[in-house]
């Protein structure tokens, strides 16, 4: 069955430090890949997406993610975290040709001043 | 530019009551989705509508019904609410033919007592 794993439930970093959030998926072919961010009480906002092509994708708010086919991973990175980045982050996959988005369980990011 | 609009934002129901969650999008998307979000479980797909006139079950459809009223609107109905349906519900839409990502509403926080 298709699945998405975000192994870190909570991550705490200091403001200005670098960040990497992990995402692994289980699917036979290359799916469409997404990272969303959710601030408290809000809906989900797209940070970035990968459909094909360059495996390093740039998103909004200074985020980037790298697709690694050999590792079935799509990790999210940011070189310098800001206090406003504190939120919950969701990785999602959409197997090509279907209408379903499968979400990971999320990683809650806390930023220390 | 409203995007995806959900009503109501908050609702408290008694066990056994019924209600309909409304969702409308103004982006001319052909596909629409209903998800529920529970702590530690990410977002799980309840029902989706790939195009106007079609609906299909997602991962957790039991206890729910949906109606794709027209291209803009996709409603979710709870016929007899149960405490297990206490959750945050999100509606989303996208245009699969153009490979767009899913756009989300702000959510409906439902409590069943």
3-state SS of chain A?
CCEEECCCCEEEEECCCCEEECCEEECCCCCEEEEEEECCCCCEEEEEEECCCCCEEECHHHCEEEEEHHHCEEEEEECCCCHHHCEEEEEEEECCCCCCCEECCCEEEEEEC
Reply yes or no on whether the pLDDT at A23 is more than 80: yes
B5 interfacial to chain A (CB closer than 8 Å): no
Nearest to A99 among B40, B96, B103 (CB): B96
Q: Which of B42, B55, B90, B98 should we substitute to test contact with A (largest number of A Cβ atoms within 10 Å)?
A: B42
CA distance A44 to A64: 17
Alpha-carbon distance B79 to nearest alpha carbon in chain A (angstroms): 24
Chain A residues in contact with B56 by the CB 8 A cut-off are: 99
Chain B residues in contact with A89 by the CB 8 A cut-off are: none
pLDDT at position A51 is: 87
pLDDT digits (tens, 9 = 90+) for B32-73: 999 999 988 889 999 999 999 999 999 999 999 999 989 999
Chain B residues in contact with A32 by the CB 8 A cut-off are: 99
pLDDT at position A22 is: 98
| Mean pLDDT in residue range B64-91 | 97
pLDDT at position A95 is: 79
| Mean pLDDT in residue range A103-111 | 96
Strand, coil or helix: B23: strand
B44 interfacial to chain A (CB closer than 8 Å): yes
Q: Which of A23, A45, A99, A101 should we substitute to test contact with B (largest number of B Cβ atoms within 10 Å)?
A: A99
Pick the residue with more confidence: B95 or B20? B20
pLDDT at position B37 is: 95
Nearest to B45 among A4, A43, A100 (CB): A100
């Amino acid at each position: 069955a298709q699945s998405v794993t975000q192994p870190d439930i909570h991550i705490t970093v200091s403001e200005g430090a670098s960040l990497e959030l992990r995402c692994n998926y289980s699917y036979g072919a290359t799916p469409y890949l997404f990272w969303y961010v959710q601030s408290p009480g809000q809906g989900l906002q797209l940070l970035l997406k990968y459909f094909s092509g360059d495996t390093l994708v740039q998103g909004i708010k200074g985020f980037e993610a790298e697709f690694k086919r050999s590792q079935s991973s799509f990790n999210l990175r940011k070189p310098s975290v800001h206090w406003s980045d504190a939120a919950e982050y969701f990785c999602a996959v959409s197997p090509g040709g279907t209408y379903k988005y499968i979400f990971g369980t999320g990683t809650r990011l806390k930023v220390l001043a | 530019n409203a995007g995806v609009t959900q009503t109501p934002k908050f609702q408290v129901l008694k066990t056994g009551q019924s209600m309909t969650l409304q969702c409308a999008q103004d982006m001319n998307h052909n596909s629409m989705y209903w998800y529920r979000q529970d702590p530690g479980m990410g977002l799980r797909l309840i029902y989706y509508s790939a195009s106007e006139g079609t609906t299909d079950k997602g991962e957790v459809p039991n206890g729910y019904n949906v109606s794709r009223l027209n291209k803009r609107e996709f409603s979710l109905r709870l016929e007899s609410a149960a405490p297990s349906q206490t959750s945050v519900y999100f509606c989303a839409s996208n245009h699969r033919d153009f490979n767009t990502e899913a756009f989300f509403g702000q959510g409906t926080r439902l409590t069943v007592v």
